[in-house]
Amino acid sequence: MSYKIVASQCTGCSACEPECPNKAISEKDGIFLIDPKKCTECIGFFDEPQCVAVCPVDHTCIIDKSLPRYQK
Amino acid sequence: MEALKEPGQGVIARFSNLKGLTIPVAPHKGCGSSGGSGKSSCGSSAGSGDLPSEIWEKVKNHPCYSEEAHHHYARMHVAVAPACNIQCNYCNRKYDCANESRPGVVSERLTPEQAAKKVLAVASEIPQMTVLGIAGPGDPLANPDKTFQTFDFVFKAAPDIKLCLSTNGLALPDYVERIKDFKVDHVTITINMVDPEVGARIYPWVFFRHKRYTGKDAAKLLTERQLEGLEMLTQAGILCKVNSVMIPGINDDHLVEVNKAVKSRGAFLHNIMPLISSPEHGTVFGLSGQRGPSAQELKALQDKCEGEMNMMRHCRQCRADAVGLLGEDRGAEFTTERIESMEVEYDAAKRRSYRDSVEIEREVRKAAREQELLTLAGENSDRKILVAVATKGGGKVNEHFGHAKEFQIYELSVAGSKFVGHRRVDLYCQGGYGEEDALAGVIRAINDCVAVFVAKIGGCPKEELRKAGIEPVDQYAYGYIETATISYYRSYLERLKNGELVDIERGDAMIRQGAFIELSAPAGQAA
């Protein structure tokens, strides 16, 4: 799986972008997106997903259940 | 302008060139030590005579650090720092309204290049603009590259503009060296508590070194980093202002302790601000019904802390993209679209000549105040009264009652006239719309005052004010505020003595919450 950003919730504050260890987050028209091909759910890097931990709006960076779980 | 033409160059390269330019400054001790009762604080109306000269040089043109300066000089904020590293219960990052004035709110985010161009454009059109601050809408030090790149561009293109930043302090100890290198000589830290028990009720979480902390752990980390950063800055001779949000029932009594803690670490000025909390802001406090303080509760706390330290009372809690004199916001005149199309010519000589004329005006004002103060010699009364003043700057009674968006509050006593605060109001004059409600709102906002000084006022509001026990005073139109108010106070005492006036205690007043309603707002930006 990968994390995804709920666009309607995103404030575009950019706090998540530099925190991502995989450089999976980018901006498009003021809204931030996570590239599911790059996201590792921060497994192997940190105890908690960094985008979730720094996001100012709860339930905005969420797990994308349509994708299989990330395998190391 | 050269800096603007080459935004691609790394900041670090040019940054290293600046290191040799940093002028060492002796650590200051603040100026509260010499203050007795009746003496105005630095943050209120201290002038050149009350401060060590090196500190006066730093604050004299800074509207946020000198009450005296805020009548003459303007500031601007550029919203280049959207990310934040903590969450506060009085902040909601999803909320934005162009007519709303409070920290953390902004309409447009800028890149450092856009920000630098905006600064030069504003500086060219508003010669009184002396200070560039970065205050968010997140935390400047959670966006260090954007913040310092903006400073770099402005420092190169317009060295006469003072740079300052306002931070929650969590990342501060990591950036003190860079702050020094850019000659940022004013830093504001928002410190709402020094006790994690209290902090846990204000901050749900902080994000630090890749980890989210919650509860008391979060607050403990935050307070340690804030105080460490404050000590590092004051040791480096950088003037520090501490902002505190007064939250009744949570940290109101505790702020006296905060005041002592920051004073002992060398903070220059303490700015206790009322909580802004309204359900429509969608903040935790807004939704939980947490109230802000009344005007008299705020003043009582500020008075209590003043013996310990210099208090700032002229803060307008402005937006992270505010432009203009404190209390006015000309941000809407400088949209990115307009700035992109502007040919900016930065005229340093014109700006210098404006400042020179202001300095002359300030000397005249000061002399007039001292002359007037002499007339109180020999008066012996412990009566203190509050009066409201309608002004649009320059330290004069020069605004019409109906055009005032705020009133400045002065406390009058035999010691003189002292600025103690301001009250925002909805415009009374809105072209025959809602005037009755607006007038009632004005009266609630200045209900603790015995008089309101205006340049002009209509017959109808005059009558209503009198009924509410507030004397409308228009005889000092266009005069200096201090001169006018001292003269009024003298006649007030005389009228008390000869029985013309009956001395009645005034009640409390309300601090206005929520968005401004202004009919002249540009289309599409209405609240």
In the prediction, which pLDDT does B340 show?
80
| Rg of the Cα atoms in chain B | 23
Cβ within 8 Å of residue B338, ≥6 positions away = none
According to CATH, where is 3.20.20 located in chain B?
2-19+41-231+313-341
- Tokens 């320059």: give the residue: B394
Compute the average pLDDT of residues B123-127: 87
Q: What is the pLDDT of residue B97?
A: 53
Q: What is the pLDDT of residues B79-115, one digit of tens each?
A: 899 899 999 999 887 765 555 555 555 667 889 999 9
The confidence band for A70, taking pLDDT boundaries of 50, 70 and 90, is low
For A26, the 3-state DSSP assignment is strand
Instruction: Copy the structure tokens of residue B148.
Output: 């310092």
Position of tokens 């700057």? Answer: B393
Give me Rg for the CA atoms of chain A. 11
Predicted confidence (pLDDT) at residue B447 exceeds the cutoff of 90: yes
Please identify, in words, the CATH class of the domain defined by B2-19+41-231+313-341: alpha beta
Shortest Cα–Cα distance, B93 to chain A (Å): 7
CB B61 within 8 Å of CB B116: no
Give the separation between CA B453 and CA B429, rounded to whole angstroms: 17
Rounded CA separation B312/B273 (Å):
9
pLDDT tens string B41-86: 334 345 555 677 877 778 887 777 778 788 888 888 898 998 999 9
Q: Is B93–A48 a contact, with Cβ atoms under 8 angstroms apart?
A: no
Is the distance from CB of B265 to CB of B187 less than 8 angstroms?
no
| Cα–Cα distances in angstroms (integers) from residue B254 to residues B241, B249, B429, B483, in the given order | 18, 10, 41, 37
In this prediction, residues B449-463 reach a mean pLDDT of 93
pLDDT value at B333 more than 50: yes
Residues of A in contact with B143 (CB under 8 A): 14
Find, in chain B, the residue whose alpha carbon is nearest to that of A20: B210
Of A15, A18, A53, the CB nearest to B211: A53
pLDDT of residue B32: 33
Contact check, Cβ <8 Å, A11/B94: yes
Q: Do A12 and B82 touch (CB under 8 A)?
A: yes
Q: Tell me the CA end-to-end span of chain B in Å, nearest whole number.
A: 37
| Residue B239: strand pairing partners | B186
Is the CB of B447 inside 8 Å of chain A's CB atoms?
Answer: no
Closest-CA residue to B438 (of B460, B469, B455): B460
Closest CA to B148 of B115, B102, B193, B117: B115
Q: How far is A65 from chain B (nearest CA, A)?
A: 24
Position B18 scores a pLDDT of 30
Distance between CA atoms of B423 and B446, rounded to whole angstroms?
A: 7
Nearest to B269 by CA among B476, B45, B519: B45
pLDDT at residue B26 is higher than 70: no
Inter-chain touch B87–A57, beta carbons under 8 Å: no
CA-CA distance, B316 to B513, in Å (whole number)?
A: 12
| B166 touches B145 (CB < 8 A) | no
Name the CATH topology of A2-64: Alpha-Beta Plaits (3.30.70)
Q: Dihedral sign, CA of B22, B23, B29, B35?
A: negative
Q: Where are the domains of chain A?
A: 2-64
**Which token pair is B329?**
């916001």
Residues of A in contact with B83 (CB under 8 A): 13-15, 18, 54
Q: By the 8 A CB rule, do B163 and B150 touch? A: no
Judge whether residue B435 has pLDDT over 60.
no
Give per-residue pLDDT as tens, A8-65: 888 888 999 999 999 999 998 778 999 999 999 999 999 999 999 999 999 999 999 8
Interface check for B83 against chain A (CB to CB < 8 A): the answer is yes
Please say whether the beta carbons of B300 and B55 come within 8 A: no
d(CA B493, CA B500): 10
Residues present in chain A in total: 72
Region of poorest pLDDT, from B260-274, B346-360, B438-452, B464-478: B346-360
For the segment B377-391, the average pLDDT, to the nearest whole number, is 91
pLDDT tens column, B393-426? 889 999 999 999 889 999 999 999 999 988 988 7
Burial class (CB in 10 A: 0-12, 13-18, 19+), A1: middle
- The helix/strand/coil state of A32 is strand
Nearest to B83 among A9, A14, A50 (CB): A14
Task: Write out the residue limits of the CATH 3.30.420.130 domain(s) in chain B.
Answer: 381-527
Write the burial class of residue B274 (CB in 10 Å: 0-12 exposed, 13-18 middle, 19+ buried): buried
| Residue from the list A15, A47, A48 with its beta carbon closest to the beta carbon of B84 | A15
Q: What angle do CA B495, B498, B504 make, to 5 degrees?
A: 55
Q: What is the mean pLDDT of residues B228-233?
A: 97
H or E, element range at B364: helix B348-374
Decide which of 3.40.250.10, 3.30.420.40, 3.30.420.130, 3.40.50.720 is the CATH code for B381-527: 3.30.420.130
Cis check for the bond before B293: say yes or no (omega within 30 of 0): no
Contact indicator for B195, B257 with CB cutoff of 8 Å: yes
Q: How confident is the model at residue B15 (pLDDT cuts 50, 70, 90)?
A: very low
Chain B segment 169-208 residues within 8 A of A by beta carbon are: 207
